Amino acid sequence: MRCRNVVWVTPRLLRENPITAVRWQKPKVSNQVDPRVVANPEQARNLPAAVSYVGGYRRARGRRLVGLFAAVYFGGLRPAEAVGLAETDLILPEQGWGSALLHRTRPSVGKQWTDSGETHDDRGLKNRPIENVRQVPIPPHLVAVFREHLATFGTADDGRLFFSEKGSVVPSSTYYRVWQEARFQ
């Protein structure tokens, strides 16, 4: 097999670091939302119903994640924040707006990158001091979704709302696959 893009360097002493001669500017970032990628309001309202059909009724693979997707779209939570959400973090009144106190995330980073050796790290909020708490208002529709989720599935042993069939932390690959399947139903 022939290898392209190989550069042979003749060993010699360099008078200065050649990297310092490289000029690089950070690319400009657009502040516009790409409508091809983000769900519009009608799609966001229909998303929970589409997710609920993924994986069949008995296995409940999609039904377990309806609240997670609703939290992302209607509550503005990051997926890792929603995965770490516990019942004790929620105020869910019978009517009207509720709230969530966010204080941790459960990002999927891989066993080799965590101190605990688990796939999901237990961290504070992104770009905030570890003890920081963020209060998020929850619209009445999302309060109803959370109440229904708790009534149907309860919580994991550690109080988390969203968990796999075996009770573990929901991997990002799972909600990615459910999202892909829901989009094409």
Q: Is residue 29 part of a domain?
A: no
CB 88 within 8 A of CB 156: no
Q: Which of 168, 157, 178, 182 is nearest to 108 (CA)?
A: 168
Q: Looking at the domain assignment, is residue 136 inside a domain?
A: yes
The span from the CA of 47 to the CA of 34, in Å, is 18
Domain around 65: 39-183
pLDDT tens figures, 125-169: 666 666 777 888 999 999 999 999 999 999 988 888 888 888 777
Residue 20 lies in a domain: no
Q: Tens of pLDDT along 55-103?
A: 876 777 888 889 998 998 888 888 888 888 989 999 999 999 999 988 7
In a domain, 127, yes or no: yes
CATH number at residue 69: 1.10.443.10
Helix (H), strand (E), coil (C) string for 82-130: HHCCEHHHEECCCCCCEEEEECCECCECCHHHCCCCCCECCECCCCCCC
For the entire predicted model, the pTM comes to 0.70
The answer to whether 180 and 73 have CB atoms below 8 angstroms apart is no
Examine residue 10 and state whether it is found in any structural domain, yes or no: no
Q: Using CA atoms, how far apart are residues 183 and 98, in angstroms rounded to an integer? A: 29
| Residue at 11 is within a domain | no
Radius of gyration from C-alpha coordinates of the chain: 22
Domain tally for the chain? 1
